Amino acid sequence: MYFIAKPALDLTKVPEFLVLFHSENEYNREWILTIIRDGLNTLQDWTLCDRTVIFKILFTYYTSSLCSRNTQSLICDIINKCLHIDKGRYYLINGQGLLSWLKDVNYPMSILETLSKHQKSDPNGFLQTLLLHRLLHSKSKEETQQILTCILEFIKGNSAEHVSILLSWLNTILTFVDKQFGYDVAVKLTKVHHTTY
């Protein structure tokens, strides 16, 4: 219905995104988000989304009381796919304030895992702060281990000059984890830490 209402589609943007996303019917919203999630694989795909101002809209809508859990999950999947694209990751972190946004919302570990694998530097310490924030609010040993694994991934991806600083940061974290969750989690991660470096 929406597609035949106009003589031509504007293919320099995601066609009819605003109409479908702001539809009263949640099915339309989830359908367009699913299409974006499944189609966001390359720099060209990201460029179309950027021209449509999708990320700003998604960040705002995610925190709305109107946003269902399923829609939140789709939004997180889209963000995670964007983080695999270098320019998309740079834009979300530096242009949209992704790291400070993540500090204030509930998000899946997959986003943190992707960030820690692909983000090579953290000049302002935002990712370190985000990792530490998530660690402090960890609810289980398993989640703590996942977060500490993300921290190790982040350290591995950094240049040699930053590694010594990050390793001292890791030792401080391991001391905290040892006090908070017991000896076994810290020992497991120390073993991983020693085999990694």
- pLDDT top residue among 184 and 125: 125
Could you tell me the pTM of the whole model?
0.77
Q: How much is the average pLDDT of 159-180?
A: 70
> In this model, does residue 30 exceed pLDDT 80?
yes
Q: What are phi and psi of 22, to 5 degrees?
A: -95, 15
Q: How much is the average pLDDT of 103-117?
A: 86
pLDDT value for 84: 92
pLDDT value for 1: 47
Using CA atoms, how far residue 152 sits from 9, 73, 126, 132, 141, in Å, is: 46, 26, 16, 13, 16
Closest CA to 154 of 193, 194, 98: 193
pLDDT 10s digits, 82-101: 999 999 998 998 888 898 88
